[in-house]
Amino acid sequence: MAKFKPETATACLALADGTVFYGKGFGATGTTTAELCFNTAMTGYQEIMTDPSYAGQVVTFTFPHIGNVGVNPDDDETADPVAEGMVVKWDPTEPSNWRSVEDLRDWLTRTGRIAIGGVDTRRLTRAIRKQGAPHVALAHDPDGNFDVEALVAAARGFSGLEGLDLAAKVTCTQSYRWDEMRWAWPDGFRRQTEARHKVVAIDYGAKRNILRCLASAGCDVTVLPAGTTTDEVLSHNPDGLFLSNGPGDPAATGDYAVPMIRGVLDRSDIPVFGICLGHQMLALALGARTIKMNHGHHGANHPVKDLETGKVEITSMNHGFTVDSQSLPKGVKETHVSLFDGSNCGIRMADRPVFSVQYHPEASPGPQDSYYLFERFAAAMDAVA
Protein backbone atom coordinates (compact mmCIF):
# COMPACT_ATOMS: atom_id res chain seq x y z
CA MET A 1 0.00 0.00 0.00
CA ALA A 2 1.27 3.47 -0.86
CA LYS A 3 2.49 5.33 2.24
CA PHE A 4 2.63 8.90 0.93
CA LYS A 5 0.06 10.93 -0.95
CA PRO A 6 1.39 13.75 -3.14
CA GLU A 7 -0.03 17.12 -2.11
CA THR A 8 -1.35 17.67 -5.64
CA ALA A 9 -3.22 14.34 -5.81
CA THR A 10 -6.96 14.72 -6.40
CA ALA A 11 -7.69 11.10 -7.39
CA CYS A 12 -6.87 7.69 -5.95
CA LEU A 13 -6.99 4.20 -7.47
CA ALA A 14 -7.00 1.47 -4.81
CA LEU A 15 -6.54 -2.20 -5.72
CA ALA A 16 -7.94 -5.05 -3.68
CA ASP A 17 -4.42 -6.23 -2.82
CA GLY A 18 -3.74 -2.91 -1.06
CA THR A 19 -1.75 -1.24 -3.83
CA VAL A 20 -2.66 2.43 -4.24
CA PHE A 21 -2.02 4.81 -7.13
CA TYR A 22 -2.44 8.56 -6.77
CA GLY A 23 -2.97 11.04 -9.57
CA LYS A 24 -4.91 14.02 -10.84
CA GLY A 25 -8.63 13.52 -11.11
CA PHE A 26 -10.86 14.76 -13.90
CA GLY A 27 -14.41 14.13 -14.98
CA ALA A 28 -17.01 13.44 -12.32
CA THR A 29 -16.25 13.40 -8.60
CA GLY A 30 -17.07 10.57 -6.23
CA THR A 31 -16.14 6.89 -5.97
CA THR A 32 -16.80 3.81 -8.08
CA THR A 33 -15.84 0.14 -7.79
CA ALA A 34 -15.20 -2.15 -10.74
CA GLU A 35 -12.91 -4.65 -12.40
CA LEU A 36 -9.77 -3.07 -13.86
CA CYS A 37 -8.60 -3.89 -17.39
CA PHE A 38 -6.19 -2.31 -19.85
CA ASN A 39 -6.71 -1.44 -23.51
CA THR A 40 -3.82 -1.13 -25.96
CA ALA A 41 -5.68 0.68 -28.77
CA MET A 42 -4.03 3.86 -30.03
CA THR A 43 -7.33 5.39 -31.17
CA GLY A 44 -10.96 5.30 -30.16
CA TYR A 45 -11.07 6.20 -26.47
CA GLN A 46 -14.61 7.56 -26.91
CA GLU A 47 -15.80 4.40 -28.66
CA ILE A 48 -14.21 2.31 -25.91
CA MET A 49 -15.82 4.28 -23.09
CA THR A 50 -19.25 3.99 -24.76
CA ASP A 51 -18.94 0.29 -25.64
CA PRO A 52 -21.54 -1.55 -23.52
CA SER A 53 -19.13 -4.49 -23.30
CA TYR A 54 -17.14 -2.46 -20.73
CA ALA A 55 -19.97 -2.37 -18.18
CA GLY A 56 -18.56 -3.03 -14.73
CA GLN A 57 -14.99 -2.13 -15.72
CA VAL A 58 -12.53 0.72 -15.31
CA VAL A 59 -10.30 0.99 -18.39
CA THR A 60 -6.55 1.70 -18.26
CA PHE A 61 -5.41 3.21 -21.55
CA THR A 62 -1.84 2.25 -22.41
CA PHE A 63 -1.67 4.89 -25.16
CA PRO A 64 -0.72 8.22 -23.52
CA HIS A 65 -2.42 10.75 -25.83
CA ILE A 66 -5.97 10.58 -24.50
CA GLY A 67 -8.30 13.50 -25.19
CA ASN A 68 -6.37 14.77 -28.20
CA VAL A 69 -9.31 14.54 -30.63
CA GLY A 70 -12.03 15.52 -28.17
CA VAL A 71 -15.43 13.86 -28.41
CA ASN A 72 -18.40 14.12 -30.75
CA PRO A 73 -21.84 12.48 -30.89
CA ASP A 74 -21.08 10.57 -34.11
CA ASP A 75 -18.47 8.42 -32.35
CA ASP A 76 -20.68 7.28 -29.46
CA GLU A 77 -21.35 3.54 -29.57
CA THR A 78 -24.29 4.05 -27.23
CA ALA A 79 -25.95 7.11 -25.73
CA ASP A 80 -23.58 7.60 -22.76
CA PRO A 81 -20.34 6.11 -21.42
CA VAL A 82 -20.80 2.62 -20.00
CA ALA A 83 -17.29 1.94 -18.66
CA GLU A 84 -17.14 2.92 -14.99
CA GLY A 85 -14.04 5.08 -15.34
CA MET A 86 -10.71 5.62 -17.06
CA VAL A 87 -7.03 5.61 -16.08
CA VAL A 88 -4.45 7.47 -18.20
CA LYS A 89 -0.75 8.29 -18.04
CA TRP A 90 -0.96 11.99 -18.83
CA ASP A 91 -3.58 14.62 -18.14
CA PRO A 92 -5.91 14.84 -21.16
CA THR A 93 -4.55 17.00 -23.95
CA GLU A 94 -6.53 19.82 -25.51
CA PRO A 95 -8.68 18.59 -28.42
CA SER A 96 -7.33 19.33 -31.87
CA ASN A 97 -9.63 17.83 -34.49
CA TRP A 98 -12.19 19.30 -36.87
CA ARG A 99 -14.83 16.81 -35.71
CA SER A 100 -14.50 17.63 -32.00
CA VAL A 101 -17.50 19.28 -30.35
CA GLU A 102 -16.61 18.77 -26.66
CA ASP A 103 -13.60 18.40 -24.41
CA LEU A 104 -13.09 14.90 -22.96
CA ARG A 105 -12.98 16.25 -19.41
CA ASP A 106 -16.25 18.12 -19.80
CA TRP A 107 -17.87 15.08 -21.42
CA LEU A 108 -16.86 12.81 -18.54
CA THR A 109 -18.12 15.33 -16.00
CA ARG A 110 -21.45 15.71 -17.81
CA THR A 111 -21.94 11.95 -18.12
CA GLY A 112 -20.87 11.10 -14.57
CA ARG A 113 -17.69 9.13 -15.21
CA ILE A 114 -14.59 9.32 -13.00
CA ALA A 115 -11.05 9.48 -14.41
CA ILE A 116 -7.51 9.66 -13.08
CA GLY A 117 -4.40 10.94 -14.87
CA GLY A 118 -0.71 10.92 -14.00
CA VAL A 119 -0.63 7.17 -13.33
CA ASP A 120 2.26 4.90 -14.25
CA THR A 121 0.11 2.88 -16.65
CA ARG A 122 3.04 0.65 -17.64
CA ARG A 123 3.46 -0.51 -14.05
CA LEU A 124 -0.30 -0.90 -13.69
CA THR A 125 -0.54 -2.95 -16.89
CA ARG A 126 2.24 -5.26 -15.72
CA ALA A 127 0.37 -5.80 -12.46
CA ILE A 128 -2.84 -6.68 -14.35
CA ARG A 129 -0.95 -9.15 -16.57
CA LYS A 130 0.68 -10.79 -13.57
CA GLN A 131 -2.21 -11.07 -11.11
CA GLY A 132 -5.22 -10.95 -13.43
CA ALA A 133 -7.86 -8.24 -13.71
CA PRO A 134 -8.03 -6.83 -10.17
CA HIS A 135 -11.00 -5.35 -8.36
CA VAL A 136 -10.52 -1.64 -7.70
CA ALA A 137 -12.04 1.46 -6.18
CA LEU A 138 -11.51 4.72 -8.07
CA ALA A 139 -12.09 8.02 -6.24
CA HIS A 140 -11.94 11.67 -7.36
CA ASP A 141 -12.00 14.43 -4.75
CA PRO A 142 -10.84 17.96 -5.73
CA ASP A 143 -9.71 18.50 -2.12
CA GLY A 144 -7.61 15.33 -2.15
CA ASN A 145 -9.19 13.77 0.92
CA PHE A 146 -9.15 9.97 0.69
CA ASP A 147 -9.89 7.23 3.20
CA VAL A 148 -7.49 4.72 1.69
CA GLU A 149 -8.44 1.86 3.98
CA ALA A 150 -12.11 2.32 3.07
CA LEU A 151 -11.25 2.40 -0.63
CA VAL A 152 -9.26 -0.84 -0.38
CA ALA A 153 -12.13 -2.41 1.53
CA ALA A 154 -14.55 -1.26 -1.17
CA ALA A 155 -12.33 -2.83 -3.84
CA ARG A 156 -12.24 -6.09 -1.88
CA GLY A 157 -16.01 -5.96 -1.51
CA PHE A 158 -16.65 -5.72 -5.25
CA SER A 159 -18.38 -8.92 -6.34
CA GLY A 160 -16.55 -9.25 -9.66
CA LEU A 161 -17.97 -10.08 -13.08
CA GLU A 162 -18.24 -13.85 -12.72
CA GLY A 163 -21.86 -14.83 -12.40
CA LEU A 164 -23.13 -11.37 -13.40
CA ASP A 165 -25.68 -10.97 -16.17
CA LEU A 166 -24.79 -7.43 -17.24
CA ALA A 167 -26.41 -7.78 -20.65
CA ALA A 168 -29.80 -7.35 -18.99
CA LYS A 169 -28.66 -3.94 -17.70
CA VAL A 170 -27.40 -2.53 -21.01
CA THR A 171 -29.87 -4.02 -23.50
CA CYS A 172 -32.65 -1.99 -25.10
CA THR A 173 -36.03 -2.06 -23.35
CA GLN A 174 -38.09 -2.32 -26.53
CA SER A 175 -37.55 -3.26 -30.16
CA TYR A 176 -36.55 -0.74 -32.82
CA ARG A 177 -35.56 -0.57 -36.48
CA TRP A 178 -32.07 0.37 -37.66
CA ASP A 179 -31.21 1.59 -41.18
CA GLU A 180 -28.19 3.88 -40.64
CA MET A 181 -25.10 2.72 -42.57
CA ARG A 182 -21.38 3.19 -41.99
CA TRP A 183 -19.92 6.70 -42.08
CA ALA A 184 -18.51 7.60 -45.47
CA TRP A 185 -17.03 10.77 -46.89
CA PRO A 186 -18.52 13.21 -47.81
CA ASP A 187 -22.09 12.32 -46.85
CA GLY A 188 -21.54 10.94 -43.36
CA PHE A 189 -24.14 8.39 -42.26
CA ARG A 190 -26.45 7.43 -45.11
CA ARG A 191 -29.66 5.39 -44.81
CA GLN A 192 -30.20 1.89 -46.17
CA THR A 193 -33.09 2.16 -48.67
CA GLU A 194 -32.54 -1.00 -50.72
CA ALA A 195 -32.20 -3.74 -48.10
CA ARG A 196 -32.18 -7.33 -49.39
CA HIS A 197 -32.53 -9.19 -46.12
CA LYS A 198 -34.55 -8.95 -42.92
CA VAL A 199 -32.30 -9.48 -39.91
CA VAL A 200 -33.23 -9.74 -36.25
CA ALA A 201 -30.38 -8.49 -34.05
CA ILE A 202 -30.40 -9.48 -30.38
CA ASP A 203 -29.07 -6.63 -28.25
CA TYR A 204 -26.82 -7.95 -25.49
CA GLY A 205 -25.07 -4.56 -25.52
CA ALA A 206 -24.87 -3.85 -29.24
CA LYS A 207 -22.51 -1.21 -30.58
CA ARG A 208 -24.01 1.20 -33.09
CA ASN A 209 -21.27 0.59 -35.63
CA ILE A 210 -22.07 -3.13 -35.70
CA LEU A 211 -25.65 -2.28 -36.60
CA ARG A 212 -24.35 0.14 -39.24
CA CYS A 213 -22.23 -2.63 -40.74
CA LEU A 214 -25.26 -4.88 -40.99
CA ALA A 215 -27.19 -2.11 -42.74
CA SER A 216 -24.26 -1.47 -45.09
CA ALA A 217 -24.26 -5.17 -45.98
CA GLY A 218 -27.83 -4.84 -47.23
CA CYS A 219 -29.78 -5.72 -44.10
CA ASP A 220 -33.06 -4.32 -42.82
CA VAL A 221 -32.33 -4.63 -39.10
CA THR A 222 -34.83 -5.06 -36.27
CA VAL A 223 -33.17 -4.90 -32.84
CA LEU A 224 -34.75 -6.91 -30.02
CA PRO A 225 -33.95 -6.97 -26.26
CA ALA A 226 -31.64 -9.58 -24.75
CA GLY A 227 -34.49 -11.51 -23.16
CA THR A 228 -36.33 -12.10 -26.43
CA THR A 229 -37.84 -15.58 -26.87
CA THR A 230 -37.67 -17.94 -29.84
CA ASP A 231 -41.29 -17.22 -30.74
CA GLU A 232 -40.67 -13.48 -30.71
CA VAL A 233 -37.64 -13.84 -33.00
CA LEU A 234 -39.43 -16.08 -35.48
CA SER A 235 -42.55 -13.88 -35.48
CA HIS A 236 -40.53 -11.36 -37.49
CA ASN A 237 -39.92 -13.98 -40.19
CA PRO A 238 -36.25 -13.02 -40.44
CA ASP A 239 -33.78 -14.08 -43.11
CA GLY A 240 -31.02 -14.14 -40.51
CA LEU A 241 -30.32 -13.86 -36.78
CA PHE A 242 -27.52 -11.70 -35.40
CA LEU A 243 -26.18 -12.04 -31.83
CA SER A 244 -24.46 -8.90 -30.58
CA ASN A 245 -21.55 -8.10 -28.30
CA GLY A 246 -22.13 -7.35 -24.63
CA PRO A 247 -20.72 -7.43 -21.07
CA GLY A 248 -20.68 -9.79 -18.11
CA ASP A 249 -20.44 -13.52 -17.59
CA PRO A 250 -21.72 -15.41 -20.66
CA ALA A 251 -22.88 -18.30 -18.51
CA ALA A 252 -25.22 -15.96 -16.61
CA THR A 253 -26.65 -14.38 -19.76
CA GLY A 254 -26.91 -17.84 -21.25
CA ASP A 255 -29.63 -18.77 -18.76
CA TYR A 256 -32.18 -17.10 -21.03
CA ALA A 257 -30.19 -16.55 -24.26
CA VAL A 258 -29.23 -20.17 -24.87
CA PRO A 259 -32.81 -21.56 -24.93
CA MET A 260 -33.78 -18.87 -27.48
CA ILE A 261 -30.82 -19.65 -29.76
CA ARG A 262 -31.41 -23.40 -29.53
CA GLY A 263 -35.05 -22.84 -30.36
CA VAL A 264 -34.20 -20.84 -33.47
CA LEU A 265 -31.69 -23.49 -34.59
CA ASP A 266 -34.23 -26.27 -34.03
CA ARG A 267 -37.13 -24.56 -35.74
CA SER A 268 -35.52 -22.79 -38.70
CA ASP A 269 -32.57 -23.00 -41.07
CA ILE A 270 -31.77 -19.27 -41.18
CA PRO A 271 -28.12 -18.15 -41.00
CA VAL A 272 -26.85 -17.05 -37.59
CA PHE A 273 -23.92 -14.70 -36.97
CA GLY A 274 -22.51 -13.79 -33.54
CA ILE A 275 -19.89 -11.34 -32.31
CA CYS A 276 -18.11 -11.27 -28.92
CA LEU A 277 -20.72 -12.14 -26.26
CA GLY A 278 -22.92 -13.29 -29.16
CA HIS A 279 -20.11 -15.69 -30.12
CA GLN A 280 -20.06 -17.04 -26.59
CA MET A 281 -23.87 -17.35 -26.51
CA LEU A 282 -23.80 -19.36 -29.73
CA ALA A 283 -21.02 -21.60 -28.40
CA LEU A 284 -22.99 -22.29 -25.22
CA ALA A 285 -26.11 -23.03 -27.26
CA LEU A 286 -24.14 -25.56 -29.32
CA GLY A 287 -22.87 -27.32 -26.20
CA ALA A 288 -19.50 -25.70 -25.45
CA ARG A 289 -18.27 -24.01 -22.26
CA THR A 290 -16.87 -20.56 -21.46
CA ILE A 291 -14.14 -19.71 -18.94
CA LYS A 292 -12.83 -16.53 -17.28
CA MET A 293 -9.50 -15.31 -18.65
CA ASN A 294 -6.62 -13.99 -16.56
CA HIS A 295 -6.77 -10.44 -17.90
CA GLY A 296 -8.72 -10.78 -21.13
CA HIS A 297 -8.12 -9.25 -24.53
CA HIS A 298 -8.70 -5.51 -24.92
CA GLY A 299 -7.18 -3.64 -27.84
CA ALA A 300 -7.19 -2.96 -31.57
CA ASN A 301 -4.00 -4.79 -32.53
CA HIS A 302 -4.76 -8.47 -31.84
CA PRO A 303 -3.57 -10.94 -34.50
CA VAL A 304 -6.03 -13.72 -35.27
CA LYS A 305 -5.43 -16.64 -37.62
CA ASP A 306 -8.17 -18.02 -39.84
CA LEU A 307 -7.52 -21.76 -39.61
CA GLU A 308 -9.43 -22.46 -42.82
CA THR A 309 -7.60 -20.01 -45.09
CA GLY A 310 -4.32 -19.49 -43.23
CA LYS A 311 -4.87 -15.73 -43.36
CA VAL A 312 -3.92 -13.57 -40.39
CA GLU A 313 -6.19 -10.66 -39.51
CA ILE A 314 -5.38 -7.77 -37.16
CA THR A 315 -8.49 -7.37 -35.04
CA SER A 316 -10.18 -5.33 -32.34
CA MET A 317 -11.03 -7.24 -29.15
CA ASN A 318 -12.75 -6.65 -25.86
CA HIS A 319 -13.54 -9.70 -23.74
CA GLY A 320 -12.68 -11.16 -20.35
CA PHE A 321 -14.24 -14.59 -20.96
CA THR A 322 -13.45 -17.04 -23.74
CA VAL A 323 -14.90 -20.14 -25.33
CA ASP A 324 -13.11 -23.30 -24.21
CA SER A 325 -12.11 -24.81 -27.57
CA GLN A 326 -11.61 -28.20 -25.93
CA SER A 327 -15.32 -28.30 -25.16
CA LEU A 328 -16.56 -27.78 -28.73
CA PRO A 329 -18.87 -30.65 -29.66
CA LYS A 330 -18.81 -32.77 -32.78
CA GLY A 331 -20.10 -30.85 -35.78
CA VAL A 332 -18.76 -27.51 -34.53
CA LYS A 333 -15.43 -26.41 -35.99
CA GLU A 334 -12.92 -23.94 -34.55
CA THR A 335 -12.27 -21.41 -37.32
CA HIS A 336 -10.09 -18.72 -35.73
CA VAL A 337 -7.49 -18.57 -32.94
CA SER A 338 -5.58 -15.79 -31.21
CA LEU A 339 -1.89 -15.67 -32.13
CA PHE A 340 -1.20 -14.10 -28.74
CA ASP A 341 -2.30 -17.04 -26.60
CA GLY A 342 -4.02 -19.59 -28.83
CA SER A 343 -7.46 -18.94 -27.35
CA ASN A 344 -10.56 -19.52 -29.42
CA CYS A 345 -11.67 -16.65 -31.66
CA GLY A 346 -14.23 -18.22 -33.99
CA ILE A 347 -16.50 -21.21 -34.62
CA ARG A 348 -18.94 -22.48 -37.23
CA MET A 349 -21.32 -25.38 -37.63
CA ALA A 350 -20.00 -27.87 -40.16
CA ASP A 351 -23.29 -28.31 -42.04
CA ARG A 352 -25.17 -25.03 -41.58
CA PRO A 353 -24.53 -21.27 -42.16
CA VAL A 354 -24.11 -20.64 -38.43
CA PHE A 355 -20.88 -18.95 -37.33
CA SER A 356 -19.42 -16.46 -34.88
CA VAL A 357 -16.21 -14.67 -33.92
CA GLN A 358 -14.81 -13.44 -30.63
CA TYR A 359 -13.40 -10.21 -32.03
CA HIS A 360 -15.04 -7.03 -33.40
CA PRO A 361 -15.13 -6.87 -37.21
CA GLU A 362 -16.96 -3.52 -37.16
CA ALA A 363 -13.62 -1.84 -36.33
CA SER A 364 -14.83 0.90 -34.00
CA PRO A 365 -12.10 1.42 -33.05
CA GLY A 366 -9.68 -0.82 -34.88
CA PRO A 367 -8.55 -2.16 -38.26
CA GLN A 368 -11.01 -3.17 -40.96
CA ASP A 369 -9.47 -6.53 -41.87
CA SER A 370 -12.56 -8.47 -40.83
CA TYR A 371 -15.46 -6.51 -42.35
CA TYR A 372 -15.85 -9.37 -44.83
CA LEU A 373 -17.70 -11.30 -42.12
CA PHE A 374 -20.76 -9.07 -42.56
CA GLU A 375 -20.64 -9.78 -46.29
CA ARG A 376 -20.31 -13.50 -45.53
CA PHE A 377 -23.46 -13.28 -43.42
CA ALA A 378 -25.30 -11.51 -46.25
CA ALA A 379 -24.06 -14.12 -48.76
CA ALA A 380 -25.33 -16.91 -46.50
CA MET A 381 -28.76 -15.30 -46.49
CA ASP A 382 -28.60 -14.99 -50.30
CA ALA A 383 -27.84 -18.70 -50.55
CA VAL A 384 -30.88 -19.81 -48.56
CA ALA A 385 -33.30 -17.23 -49.96
Rounded to whole angstroms, the Cα distance separating 343 from 249 reads 17
Catalytic annotation, pick one of 197, 297, 302, 360: 360
Catalytic annotation, pick one of 276, 279, 295, 297: 276
- The type of residue at 348 is R
Active site residue 375: no
CA atoms 85, 249, 50, 66: torsion sign: positive
Selection from 223, 277, 291 nearest residue 246 by Cα: 277
Rounded to whole angstroms, the Cα distance separating 237 from 239 reads 7
Active site residue 180: no
CA distances from 355 to 78, 131, 305, 327, 345 (A): 25, 33, 16, 16, 11
Inter-residue contact 374 to 361 (CB < 8 Å): yes
Selection from 139, 73, 60, 66 nearest residue 104 by Cα: 66
DSSP sequence for 209-256? HHHHHHHHTTEEEEEEETT--HHHHHTT--SEEEE----S-HHHHHHH
Inter-residue contact 221 to 214 (CB < 8 Å): yes
Q: Is 269 helix (H, G, I), strand (E, B) or coil?
A: coil
Active site residue 37: no
Catalytic annotation, pick one of 77, 84, 313, 362: 362
Inter-residue contact 272 to 243 (CB < 8 Å): yes
Selection from 207, 238, 246, 245 nearest residue 222 by Cα: 238
Inter-residue contact 65 to 152 (CB < 8 Å): no
Q: Which residues are catalytic?
A: 276, 360, 362
